[in-house]
Structures are given as structure tokens and as C-alpha cells.
Amino acid sequence: MTPGSIPSDLLAVRRTLANGLRLAFIQLPAGSQAAALVRVHAGAHDAPGEYPGLAHFLEHLLFLGSRAYAATESLMPFVQGHAGQLNASTRERHTDFFFQVPADVFDEALKRLLDMLARPLLDEAAQLREREVLQAEFLARGRDRETLCDAAIGTALSAPHPFSAFHAGNRDTLVVESPAFQQALKGYHQRFYHGGQMELLVAAPCGIEHLLELLQCAECQLPVAHAVARQTAPLRADDGVALHLQVEGARPLLDLAFALDGLPDETCVALDVLASWLASQASGSLCRAMREAGWCEALMLRVPYWYDGQGVVVLELQLTEQGMANRGEIVAAVRSWLRYMTSQAPWPELWDEYVQIRQRGLLGKEPLALLRYWVDPAAWTPTIDAERVHRALRTLGTQLDGSKPIILTVDGEGGDRRGDITAPHTGFALNMLSERLPVATNQAWQWQLPERNPWLSRQMQPRVSPVALPALCWLEHGGDSRGQGALYLRWRFTTGRPPAGLWHVLYVALRAHTVAAAQAGVELRFDDLGGSWCLALFGYAEALPLVLQDLLDELKQPPVAAFDGGRRLFDEAKVPGADELLIRQLLRRLPVLESSAAEDNRILDRRAVERVWQGARWDALAVGLPARLSGPLQDVLAAMPGLAEPAAEQHTERFPRYLWSRFGDPGAENALVLFCPLPVRSASVEAAWRLLARLMESAFFRRLRSELQLGYAVFCGFRQLGERAGIVFAVQSPSASAAEILGHIETFLESFSASLEVPSDKVLEAISAGESPNGLSHDLRRRAEAVWQARLAGLDAEHPVAVAAAMSTGDVSAIKAQLHALRAADGGWHVVANAGAPDGRWQQR
């Protein structure tokens, strides 16, 4: 296999079964986790028009029990109980259901997935409860910037089309009590949830013969029916229009939306080619030109709708203040770039680098990520005809150039301005005005392909060298790493926390390289952990030292533009934004807020960077890199800013037992995140807490989301935040205050404690499942993350294996004792919420 090429075992074997089910199978090596994805070829646009949201509603209902598995034994609690991941998504013309679990429980998970799709209970009492969840989701989506942008774009279509209609569903449209609605719900399920309308993708370390035998069991049987022919309405935006939308908390944004129709199948891949170059931030790219003009921070291409050769394609630009004043020029520049890319750019060069990007990116994907890639019609495959894609790109360019785009400006300003456009059919209130953009000058843009990504082709000279740096922990990986590796660096600050905003400066400097790194198969993260900073690189092992070497200059001497961008980012981070779920923003703040150092607002410049590095101490971890990279990596690390110093045992800073941090103000939705750190970071205590979190996850979700109906964003789980680990509880609610949310969490903990007094067979079974130490040894990414988290906490590399071993022998008494410690806040309780503390026990920060 040549470096960067796709191993044959990552390509799917495809079959069509007797019941019409289309099957794609990827056989993974022993020790891998296993994943399945079912795509049902029906979505929001296929639901009856009189019941908007029915398709999305059914997606939710399918998780609430089936003929063979009651709700408490269904897919969601099963996967959560085995530390897996699962989700579902209803799109315009398809619905996906997917999970990833340890391979030894894959068969049971797949049985639950297929049984719930084929034979759901659809209990009306459960429907009434779940409708309230969708109502909460609808309210949240009514404040979501991307949702409102798509609704605004839909108002400008020239002819009626499902894209412009309301499909989210809410309390008013989901008439559960109506017999006609029940008939429509069951009719939709019967029409589309059968073998002829589904495809199943599996990635697992078993043979396809085993899978085919499994699909013969009763739980996996699907109804047999022919595929359903579905029609499409014409999609046009003949006149184009300029609109201005106000979204509370949104940062300035410009969307150029194109309604396209009648395009060939290969257009999906052509759009992916275009998106790859739109995202590029290299010299000569559109993004670099827009940044150098001072107009824009970032660009992306998104496709909110695509089906059968028609779709809505949106080019999205994050604007600066100067960009807001030059929107006419920006539109002209983007359209000029699109003409170049689709009709003038050198195709062989364009295609060659695109293929390299796709090959490299596939190498490190987890099983579920592989399936989500291969199910996408935009997925490149080695057998695709490059010339057909080229023709599709030129056809796409002709339509883009001949279309009048819908131009949408979004910002969060304007006070109580009332728009002159209403769109009741979208289901969302749009505060929107029509406007006229400034006329663009006749500026001539000279476009070219961006510089080629050097990380796709360059290699460092291999050299085996004994690991001589005491600050570097070098770990081999015994399993099949598939050419992947992990590299982590941490800087600790001996003179106190760096100036506020300096991390944001370096983040902006590194952010300019994240796309190029991702294209080279390397995930790049740079995290502020409060008392330290962490740079993490994971992916194609051969590229890791190379990427790190090229980032050194950015770390030591950030470009001037990074200081301006960092200041803006720091200011924006002080208040909640509209572009991300509030509880996610709260979670991200926890590690930083746990640092008790006061924020220092010294001037941010290169001298400040130099001062910080002078007082920094770094240590590093490398996992899975081949021995031939030991020399090049140590050469790069020798030039690292700061002084090399092995990590010492952590002396955890003492925090108040009850600490409350406020971020934002109460609004239409309230959110609260409670972090309960471990009282002691021993293997036995951590094992008990991990088992406790696994036991509570589905029960917490069921109680607060389904039964109490607090909202749709509800979860709990074991997490490491910065250098401390513990259990996180998070809730975002349109109805409950922060104080009420906290009260519900405390009540849940009390009732869960009572349930452990006489543990059920299911609890005992979940505990006995434990955690296999072998799972860590085979899975490079899981092992690397676990070891790094241990080192952040001042523990050795063997700590994760000791925790896994302790989990495999866990017992109820240990879990009960640690639940008591959690409830007593022995390790402390830290809340982040968009409201003040409810009582005097909390110390507020």
C-alpha cells in the first residue's frame, strides 16, 4: 500500500438482500469497535403536508420501545450502558439511525436497531410526552441562527417547494389525540420503513457471513416492499433578492444562496471539490484574499438541501465590521472566484490534490465516521470517473453564474427593529427586511489555485533515535494503528495564568492551519485548560512531526492579524452566542473558570507572547508513532517554546465546595451544567465513578427529558475537564429556571441512590459488563486520550489500564459509596449557568 492510499478493507462490499435491503459491509481488524448505520430513504419532505414534523416525530418515537425490547431495554439505554454512541437525524429526503459499540455487543445492538425500525410500539401516552420534547426543540430552533437563515432563504424561492415549508414540528402540528394523525403516522411508517426503502451499512471486526446470518434472526427481519417513487417540485429563485435578518446574539454573517435544479449525479462530488477549496486558507485562496482585505474571518460551503439533482447551496462568510460595509464587493469577489473554479482552474491539478485529501482523510476514521462518509452521495470513491465529475463541475458553474443568488445578511443588532417580511409558512418568526446592497466597483480579481498543501506530500527524513528528552513520554502501540498516531503537548505556567486573551491570539494563529491539517489527515486541537495550554495532533502519523514543525513559528511569533482576531474572539467569548447550543458553551468554559487566577488585561503583543513562553514548562506524549519518527520528532521538540520539564505530580488547587459561575443572563431558555469532580483520583474510585455515570446516563435522560419534559438538551456522563475528572450533568430548558434544574438534578440523585439499595438484575448486569482492558490496548485513539488525561492529572501511563481492570471487578457497594461522596460534594460541585446562584451555600465567581 502506498503512503496515504486507502486500504482495501476500508472500502465497502455491497449487496442487495432478498427483502430489498441494500447492505454495505466493511470488515475491520480484530480489536476494533463496531458500528451500524441505517438510512431510510424518506424524510421531512415525504411526510403528509397537513402534519408538519411527522417524520421527525417518528424518528423520536422509534427509540421508545419495540415489540421485542421495552423502552428500558431498547437501543438507547443498551448503547449508553456499554459506553457507546448513538444518534439519529431526519433530513429532507432521508432519515439516518446509527450507533457504535464494543464489538462483543454489536449483535445485540443491531437487533435492537432493526426491531425498533420495523416494529415500534408507538404508544400514545409516550407520544404525548415526546411531543413536549419536540416542542422544546422547536423553541430552541426558533433562536438558532442556521435554522432561521434557511427559513429566510426559503421565503425567496420563486415557486412553492417543500424547502420553504415548515417541517420541524411542534405542539400544534403533532395532533397526537387525533385518529387521523395516528393513521397518518402509522401510514408513513408502513410506506417507508421496509427493506425496499432502506440501506444498512456495517463496519465490524467480523466476517460478512456472520452478519448475513445475524440478519436472518427474528429481531432483524424487515417488512418486504418495493422502493417508493418520490416526486420533486421545481426549485427556482428566479429574481434573487437581498435580505437582512436579525438574530439575537448572532455575529455578522453573509450568505450567498443558490437554488439549483436538473444537475447530474456527479454534482455532489463536484460540490465537495468546490467546498474543499473554499475552506482552504492557504496563500492564493479566496479565504486568504477576503482576510487580507479585512472583510471576512472564515468561509464555508453548506448544502442544507439536496435530492435528485436539485438543491440549495449556500456560501457562508463570517464578516468583520469592515466586511459589513463592503458586502457588494464581497458578493462580486465570490462570484468571480466561482467562475474561475468551475471553468478556468486547471482540472488535473485540482482533482489530483482533492483525491489526496480524500484518501488521507479516510485513513483515521472511526467505524461510525467511515459509515457516515460512505453513505453520503458526495463521497469520493476510487472508481469514480474524474471526467464525469469535471463535466458536472462545469455544468454546476454554468448554473451558478447564470443564477441570481439570494443574498442574506445576518447580525444580532438592530434593537427592536421590526422586519417588513413575514413568513408564517416557515413556522419561525423572522425579523427580516429587504434591502439594497451597495453597488460593487469593477475590481478585477486575479484568481489562482491556492498553494498546494505541503503536508500531503512532504515527509521528514526518518531517523531512529533513543528517546532522550525527559519531558517526552513515548509509547508504542501493540495493535493495528492503521498508520495513525497521537501527539500531545502541554505548557504549564510557573508565573501564574497568562494574560487574558493571549490564548485566543494563538488559537486564531493556529486556526488558519486547521483546514490544511485536516486535509492531510491530522486533527488539530488547541485547548485552554485554565492553568495550562494543550496542543493535540491526532491522525496520519507520518505527518505529525511535520505539522508540529510548521506550527512552531505561529506559536513563537503569531502574525499581526492574529492579535486583532484574538482580541475579537476574546470579547465575543464573554457573552453567549447564537451559533451553538448554550450548554455546550457552558461546558467549554468549565476548565477555564476553574483556574482561580485573576484575569490580567495587559496589552497583547509579541512581547507578551515572549514573556509567557519564558515562564512556560512543557511536557509531551507521543502514542503509536513508528520508531523511524523518534529522531525527527525530538528535533522538533528541541525547538519548542518554553523549557522542557517532565510532568510532576499535580497538587490540585483547592476550590470552594460549592462554586457557582455565571455566564450570560436568563433568557427564553435556561441552561445549567453541574460538574462533580472525583474526590480522589485513584483507580478504584475512578472505576466506581465511571460505572456510576454509565448506570445513571439513560435514567437521567429518561427522567428529566421524557418524564419531566424539561427540554430536549439533557445528558449526564463521565468527563475530564482540564486536569480534573468527574461526572457532568447538563440541562437546557425553555420552562425551568436554573434553580429548578438544579433541584431536579438533586432529586434525581436522591432517587437513584434509593434504587441502588436493592439493585435490579439490569444494574448488576451493567456492572458485570465492566470495561475490558484489552479495549484500550487495541484502540489507539481511546488509549492515547486516556493516557493523556491521566498525565494531565499527574498520573502515570498505566492508570487507564488499572481503571479498566477495576471496572471489570466493580461491585454495588463501591458504587453506592461513591454516589454518597458525589451527593455530599466531597470533590466539590461546580455549576456554570446563565443565572445567579439560588442560595447562600454557593460561592459565586
| Structure confidence by residue, pLDDT tens digits, 687-725 | 999 999 999 999 999 999 989 999 889 999 999 998 899
Residues across the chain: 845
Q: What's the CA gap between 370 and 237, in Å, rounded?
A: 35
By the 8 A CB rule, do 202 and 273 touch? no
By the 8 A CB rule, do 154 and 164 touch? yes
pLDDT at 654 over 80: no
Q: What's the CA gap between 667 and 582, in Å, rounded?
A: 11
Who has greater pLDDT, 586 or 12?
A: 586
Who has greater pLDDT, 52 or 653?
A: 52
Q: Give Cβ neighbours of residue 157 (< 8 Å, ≥ 6 apart).
A: 163, 164, 235, 236, 237, 259
- State what percent of residues in the chain have pLDDT above 70: 93
pLDDT at 401 over 80: yes
What domains are there in the chain, each with its CATH number? 8-220 (3.30.830.10), 241-441 (3.30.830.10), 455-644 (3.30.830.10), 658-844 (3.30.830.10)
pLDDT digits (tens, 9 = 90+) for 817-839: 999 999 999 999 999 999 999 99
Give the DSSP letter of residue 195.
G
CB atoms within 10 A of CB 190: 11
pLDDT at 9 over 60: no
pLDDT digits (tens, 9 = 90+) for 562-584: 998 898 888 888 888 877 889 99
Phi first, then psi, for residue 431 (nearest 5°) are -90, 90
Q: What's the CA gap between 330 and 293, in Å, rounded?
A: 10
CB atoms within 10 A of CB 120: 21
Who has greater pLDDT, 174 or 766?
A: 174
pLDDT at 801 over 50: yes
Phi first, then psi, for residue 343 (nearest 5°) are -135, -15
Least confident among 443-447, 769-773, 793-797: 769-773
pLDDT digits (tens, 9 = 90+) for 184-240: 999 999 999 999 999 999 999 999 999 999 999 999 999 999 999 998 999 999 888
Q: Of 245, 247, 249, 146, give the one whose Cα is nearest residue 576.
A: 249
pLDDT at 766 over 90: no
- Strand-pairing partners, residue 433, are 244
Encoded amino acid at 675, one letter: F
The pLDDT value recorded for residue 531 is: 82
Crossing angle of helices 386-402 and 267-279, in 10° steps, is: 70
The pLDDT value recorded for residue 775 is: 59
pLDDT at 416 over 60: no
- 415 pLDDT band, cuts 50/70/90, is very low
User: What is the pLDDT of the chain when averaged over all its residues?
Assistant: 91
Sequence-ordered alpha helix ranges (H) in 82-144: 106-118, 124-141
The pLDDT value recorded for residue 95 is: 98
Who has greater pLDDT, 607 or 674?
A: 674
Cell (9 digits) for 781: 485513539
The pLDDT value recorded for residue 106 is: 97
Encoded amino acid at 406, one letter: I
Encoded amino acid at 612, one letter: V
pLDDT at 118 over 90: yes
Enumerate the active-site residues.
59
pLDDT digits (tens, 9 = 90+) for 323-365: 999 999 999 999 999 999 999 999 999 999 999 999 998 887 8
Q: Give Cβ neighbours of residue 483 (< 8 Å, ≥ 6 apart).
A: 3, 363, 364, 540, 541, 542
Sequence-ordered alpha helix ranges (H) in 574-679: 582-593, 606-614, 630-638
